[in-house]
Structure 1
Amino acid sequence: MTVSRLRNIPGIGVDKMGDAADATNNHNILRLENLDTDLRPPADAIRRTHEAVEDDDANSYLPFIGQRALREAVVARIARSAGVEYDAGRECVISAGGMSGVLNVLLSILEPGDEVVLTDPTYAGLINRVRLAGGEPRFARLIPGADGWRLDLESLAAAVGPRTRALLVMSPSMPTGFVANRAEWDAIAQHCRRTNAWLIYDAAMERIVFDGRAIIHPASLPEMRERTITVGSVSKEYRMIGWRVGWIVGPEAIMADVRLTSLCNVVCQVGIGMPGATAALTAADDGVAQAVAEWQARRDFLLRELHDLPLVRPDGGWSLLIDTEQLGFTSPEASRRLFEFGEVAATPMTHWGPDAGRYLRFVFANEPVSRLGDIRSRVRAAWGV
């Protein structure tokens, strides 16, 4: 019998598509279902990780909040991004990946029944963690259009209410590639100030923005340093998924509770992963600019090849969405047909938000253009369009 806190947590769907693709042992299948990447991590990060395996200091529980050098590198990175200073000793905790950090923050701020505002669509794992922590998700719509995705400010205002405890915003967002502009961040910040709510900023893809778009860190906005909790990781930008190293940075007033929650939950981080993460954050060339250029080239290729389909341009991140209902398919049916007749693994966005179920996600982080060359013929074989 399922315990009550799991009854409304259906999973994320990516695992099922990944398992199905793995089971075929068919290397011709395009792996567009998961947020892996074929681009290499920074060379310094790999070298330092090899060294850490032989380093007894890395084979330790201590310090529980993460190695000092990594915490200093994290707050230095946020200072560059936001122009805001944080204390590495009192305002930064290293987490076992970004999603562990998000859960620990939610467990630290929510009472049962508190509401958390997210975008729709958004990563199902964020929605699930709100529920796991006892919160109630509320949604602000992202509207697709010729200008990509834009935040519906009226929908945002309607989602914020007397029980709102936090707004949880990812930019660039997964799965849409939505990148919040200044007006949208200003609206989000205004609601946080008006309701005394926290802003949980999921910065996992902060630097993966296309077409020269500006990066705006919400802690830089007026009166938002004391209301913003930033959660980041080395998984996406630095291509270090398997290291499972993330961070939580926020005002000292809440970080003592986050530290306690982290200690009770995961206890500590991957010891041999942290030196590599530090090396990535402090490398003279972290490879992020080159990786972003490659991901943008893949995005642009898909936009050209699939231009006659109802897709929405992502302005950052690793994925784009196709509205399969406009083609006469539910997204699960479109996914099934694409897998069976087109040899493409792609995840339907069921449970990724109230209106997200009409979309199918194509991840472009793990397949080079040389492998994507026949994507339009694969789609035509599967959907007949």
Structure 2
Amino acid sequence: MSNNLIRKPISRRAHALEASLIREVAEVGMTMDDVVPLWFGEGAWPTSPQIVEAAIASLQAGRHNYQPNNGTVGLRDAICSYSNNLYGCELTRSQVTVTPSGMQGLMLAAEMLVTPEDRVVAIEPSWPNIIGAFKAMGADVVTQNLRPVDGRWALDLDALIDALTPDTTVFVVNSPNNPTGWTMSTQEQKTVLDHCRKHGIWIVSDDVYTRLYRHGTAAPSFLSIATAEDRLLSVNSFSKCWSMTGWRLGWVVAPPELEAKFGQLTEFNTSCTTSFVQDAGIVALQKCEGEIAELNTKIRRGFEITSYHLKRFSRVNFIEPDGAFYCFFQVDGLDNSYDAALQIMREAKVGLAPGIAFGGPGEGYLRLCYAQPEEVLHQAFDQLSTYLS
């Protein structure tokens, strides 16, 4: 009998996974010459020398071995101090698990909370990997859409509360939001937290862009209003505001009774996070507050340039983001954003993310990451002008 006839198929969950359309566009663009790459959520500036030097010193000191599943004591304590100072909370080490990236933190959260066919409510438009992690665990994902209201992105809070039914297992939210920059207010968070407490619903909050907030030092966080006993998982990352995308370092804050289980899940996924990268993370948290302020200054300037150029085109509509570093803009007449992104890349040599990648409500939009030097953005819009006109 042929091996092909007796070989079992891959799992239904693996088969059902969909490729990231952002990645598909980028993979094509990476084979082309002279494309201005604005597709990924990645700033153009390198990691702080202080952080790099800490990693080098750690390697030279022989920190080459396995580490605790939940992370080193030093980094977990540093995360507690950083979070407590920023959010006014009272985290303890038992609430923190270090992860090799924020994405791994989201995946661990999904593995921890979801069994197949569990109901999960999420916000769209949204970075596809967030919802994808829960779909990979077999969740039945129901979405609530952000929508433009009076020139701002807004969430219909009443509709969200109605969607968070007693049989809902998890509510997933990313705030500040990728791609729109929408940010959940403290009052909205309180309303959602109270409702989820009443019905025993878990909240998974992707807080990766909390420090990239245009109206203060940090965006509102559930950590400021929750207790250690609340069913809250806060997922964070060093990638964005410390310019450490390639380092793959993040963390999860969870109720202390999940500490051992997070350690076990980490064991079966990655065993542990790299030692010298964790040492670099301690320096990032303790010594690089100034670098975060500098990055926010740069991305504010990036938005000013992006806004100036986009307002020149009558076909383009966009809403000013409250956080993150993206402009999610709508183009009149655009009904297939994936094909449009490929066309723009071929003809204008600018790489943008297609709006459809962020869910159905994103169709008709394109996402541009403006965490770039001024000259790069000016060049990109010079090349985009023919298409956008």
TM bucket by the smaller chain?
Answer: over 0.9
Asked if 1:341 corresponds to 2:379, the answer is no
Per-residue CA shift, 1:93-147, capped at 9, x if unaligned?
A: 1101001011111111112211222111011001110111221212121112454
SS of 1:280's equivalent?
helix
In 2: Cα distance, 1:320 partner to 1:137 partner: 26
The answer as to whether partners of 1:340 and 1:382 remain within 8 angstroms in 2 is no
User: Aligned partners of 2:202, 2:228: CA distance in 1, in Å?
Assistant: 9
d(CA) in 1 for partners of 2:36 and 2:149?
27
Structure-2 residue corresponding to 1:69: 74
Distance change >3 Å, CA 361–CA 91, structure 1 → 2: same
Aligned to 1:300: 304
More deviation, 105-114/186-195:
186-195
In 1, Cα distance between the equivalents of 2:188 and 2:151? 14
Could you tell which deviates more after superposition, 374-383 or 14-23?
Answer: 374-383
Following TM superposition, by how much is the alpha carbon of 1:284 offset from its aligned partner in structure 2, in angstroms?
5.5
* Among candidates 56, 74, 84, match of residue 89 of structure 2: 84
5 Å-filtered alignment, 1:25-36, equals 25-26=33-34, 29-36=35-42
The offset of 1:277, in angstroms, is 0.8
TM-superposition CA deviations, 1:200-255 (whole Å, max 9, x none): 11111111011447622212226576222111111111001111111111211233
RMSD between aligned residues: 2.0
* Unaligned stretches of 5+ residues in structure 2: 1-8
After superposition, residues 180-329 of structure 1 pair within 5 angstroms as: 180-212=184-216, 215-221=219-225, 226-283=230-287, 285-307=289-311, 308=314, 309-324=316-331, 326-329=332-335
Segment drifting more, 75-84 vs 155-164: 155-164
* Cα gap change, 1:358 to 1:328, in 2 (>3 Å): closer
Measure, in 1, the Cα distance between the counterparts of 2:237 and 2:279: 14
Letter in 1 for 2:201: A
Q: Structure 1 residues 7, 273: closer, same or farther in 2, change over 3 A?
A: same
Q: What residue number does 2:64 align with?
A: 59
Cα separation, 1, equivalents of 2:355 and 2:259: 33
TM-score, with length taken from structure 1: 0.92
CA distance in 2, matches of 1:203, 1:225: 19
Within 1, Cα distance between the matches of 2:386 and 2:82? 46
- Residues in 2 aligned to 1:148 and 1:52: alpha-carbon distance in whole angstroms: 46
Aligned residue for 2:358, secondary structure, equals: coil
* In 1: Cα distance, 2:221 partner to 2:279 partner: 26
What residue identity is the alignment partner of 1:41? T
SS in 1 for 2:123: strand
Q: Distance in 1 between matches of 2:288 and 2:109?
A: 31
- What corresponds to 1:12 in structure 2? 20
Number of aligned pairs?
378
Picking from 137, 143, 146, the partner of 2:147 is 143
Give the whole-Å Cα distance in 1 for the aligned partners of 2:171 and 2:290.
31
Paired residue type of 1:162: P
- Equivalent residue for 1:358, pick from 354, 364, 372: 364
- Relative to structure 1, is the Cα distance of residues 32 and 222 closer, same or farther in structure 2, using a 3 angstrom cutoff? closer
Contact 2:80 2:92 in 1 (8 A): yes
CA apart distance, 1:342: 1.4
| 1: CA distance, partners of 2:238 / 2:115 | 30
1:105 to 89, 92, 109: 109
Paired residues of 2:205 and 2:233 also in contact (CA < 8 A): yes
CA–CA separation in structure 2 for the residues paired with 1:297 and 1:322: 18
SS at match of 1:180: coil
Give the residue type in structure 1 aligned to 2:92.
Answer: D
Structure 2: distance between partners of 1:147 and 1:74: 36
Please state whether the residue corresponding to 2:363 is helix, strand or coil: helix
| Shift in Å, 1:336 | 2.2
d(CA) in 2 for partners of 1:109, 1:294 = 38
Output the amino acid matched with 2:24. K
**TM-score, scaled relative to structure 2:** 0.91
Contact 2:86 2:218 survives alignment (8 Å): no
**Percent identity between the two aligned chains:** 21
Of stretches 110-119 and 140-149 in structure 1, the one that deviates more from structure 2 is 140-149
Distance change (3 Å), C-alpha of 1:182 and 1:46? same
In 2, the alpha carbon distance for the partners of 1:236 and 1:124 equals: 17
Aligned equivalent of 2:4: none
